[in-house]
Amino acid sequence: TPEKVWYHGEWCPSRGQRCSNTNLTTNKGCCIWYNEPQYLAEIEDHLNITIPQVGSELDIPMNEFDGKVVYGQKKAKNGPSYKNHYDQLLSTINELTQLETKAQYLYLHMLNN
C-alpha cells in the first residue's frame, strides 16, 4: 500500500527543517507517494533474489553471508595502497613542474615584449 512520505528537495527553502508543506512534489510540495512493497519487489526481481523480512519479534534471519564478511580485512592484509604511488608519479610531477615554470616564463616574456 502506498504511503505519503516527506521528500524535500531544492524547492524546499528549509530542506525539511520545520517544513509543513504536505502537498505532493507535483504541486510544489514536499511529499511523494512511496510504495515500498512495489520497490522491494522490483529490487528482488532485478537482483534475482528474495530479501529476507524481519518479523515483529525483530529476529534477523541467517543467510549465506553470515560470518563470511569481515569488514576491513582485505585492506589490513594489503596495507596502504598509496605507499608506492608517489614514486610512480614522481617523474610526471617533475615534468609538470618544469612545464609550469616554462609556461610562466613564456607568459611573462610575452607580457613584457
Binning pLDDT at 50, 70 and 90, where does residue 47 land?
A: confident
d(CA 72, CA 29): 42
Residues 56-97: tens digit of each pLDDT: 777 776 666 666 666 665 555 555 566 677 788 888 999 999
pLDDT number for residue 61:
67
Task: Please count the other Cβ atoms lying within 10 Å of the Cβ belonging to residue 41.
Answer: 13
The DSSP-derived string for 47-113 is: HTS-PPPP-TT-PPPP-TTTTT--TTHHHHHH--TTTTHHHHHHHHHHHHHHHHHHHHHHHHHHHH-
pLDDT number for residue 42:
92
15 grid coordinates:
530542506
Of the candidate ranges 32-36, 95-99, 106-110, the one whose mean pLDDT is the lowest? 106-110
All structural domains of the chain with their residue ranges:
1-51, 82-113
pLDDT number for residue 58:
75
